[in-house]
């Protein structure tokens, strides 16, 4: 049987292709935006929560009936999160982008965290903070490496709540296991 000399060539080309893909993946991750868009970053990203609202719609004021103590507050209708310290003062607030299913209002606790994984919508995410699961849908906060937001009109039921990468890092530092998460309408 004749031996082919193409084997080492194919192996070399495959190795070279893998190196190129690795370099491109690294470059894509290194240049991914910290915020979903520059417009959002300029107007909302990582806002300090000073308690001064701007009216009901678009308000950054901490919602009433959002619990007490150190907690994460997620206002579904406002699409906004507050990280609230033990002194009852918000330390950070930021907008979020929910996916196709919203969690029911109530008090939950952080059940698990992951530094990175592929989200239920197929997007690579980091700083995943899970706080609830119902009817096969997992609810949690995360930041997409590519800065994308989930599709709220997707057919697939997902409970991802996306935040900008800088906000995701702040959530990760704040929302350790068992941290209270309060969901309000």
For the chain, domains (ranges, CATH) are: 38-184 (2.40.440.10)
Distance CA 78, CA 158 (A): 19
The per-residue pLDDT for 99 is 92
The per-residue pLDDT for 121 is 82
The per-residue pLDDT for 35 is 40
Q: Answer yes or no: pTM beyond 0.85.
A: no
The token pair at 168 is: 């995701």
| Residue in the block written with tokens 């103590």 | 69
The per-residue pLDDT for 28 is 37
The H or E element that residue 29 is part of is helix 6-31
Distance CA 72, CA 90 (A): 9
Cβ–Cβ < 8 Å for 75, 62: no
pLDDT one-digit tens code per residue, 111-150: 999 999 998 888 999 999 999 999 999 999 999 999 999 9
The per-residue pLDDT for 31 is 36
The per-residue pLDDT for 58 is 58
Q: Averaged in consecutive runs of 10 residues, what is the pLDDT profile of the chain (185 residues)? A: 59 47 38 37 41 51 94 97 96 96 97 94 94 95 94 90 97 97 97
> In 10 A of CB 61, how many CB atoms?
18
Distance CA 62, CA 29 (A): 33
| CA-CA-CA-CA torsion sign (40, 38, 51, 91) | positive
The per-residue pLDDT for 2 is 57
| Nearest residue to 158 (alpha-carbon basis) of 113, 123, 109 | 123
The per-residue pLDDT for 17 is 46
């Amino acid at each position: 049987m004749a031996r082919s000399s193409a084997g080492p060539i194919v192996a070399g080309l495959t190795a070279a292709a893998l190196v190129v893909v690795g370099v491109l993946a690294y470059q894509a991750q290194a240049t991914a935006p910290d915020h979903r868009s520059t417009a959002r970053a300029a107007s909302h990203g990582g806002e300090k929560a000073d308690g001064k609202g701007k009216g009901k719609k678009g308000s950054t004021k901490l919602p009433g009936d959002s619990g007490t103590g150190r907690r994460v507050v997620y206002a579904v209708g406002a699409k906004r999160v507050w990280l609230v310290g033990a002194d009852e003062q918000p330390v950070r607030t930021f907008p979020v982008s929910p996916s196709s299913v919203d969690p029911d209002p109530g008090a939950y606790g952080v059940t698990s965290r992951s530094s990175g994984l592929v989200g239920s919508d197929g997007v690579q995410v980091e700083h995943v903070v899970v706080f609830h699961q119902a009817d096969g849908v997992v609810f949690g906060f995360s930041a997409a490496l590519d800065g994308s937001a989930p599709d709220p009109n997707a057919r697939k039921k997902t409970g991802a709540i996306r935040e900008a990468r800088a906000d995701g890092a702040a959530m990760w530092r704040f929302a350790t296991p068992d941290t209270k998460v309060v969901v309000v309408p």
